[in-house]
Structure 1
Amino acid sequence: FILDFIAVMPGVPKAKVAKRMILTPDHAKRLSQALSDNIKRYEDEHGPINTREKVEIPMYRGPQPEA
Structure 2
Amino acid sequence: MDNNQNPQDGNINIELNEMVAAGVYANLALVNHSPSEFVVDFIQLMPGVQQAKVRSRIILAPLHAKRVLSALQQNITNYEQQFGEIKEVEPFVLGGNNVQA
Establish whether TM, by shorter chain, passes 0.5: yes
Structure 2 residue 46 is matched with structure 1 residue 9 = yes
Q: Which structure would you say has the larger Rg?
A: 2
Structure 2 gaps of 5+ residues are 1-37
Structure 1 gaps of 5+ residues are 63-67
Give the secondary-structure state (helix, strand or coil) at the position aligned to 1:35: helix
Identity %: 44
Structure 2 residue 58 is matched with structure 1 residue 58 = no
**Count of aligned pairs between the two proteins:** 61
Q: CA deviation at 1:19?
A: 1.2
2:75 is aligned to 38
Structure 1 pair 44–50 and aligned structure 2 pair: CA distance change class (3 A): same
In the TM superposition, structure 1's runs of 4+ consecutive aligned residues that sit over 4 Å from their partners are none
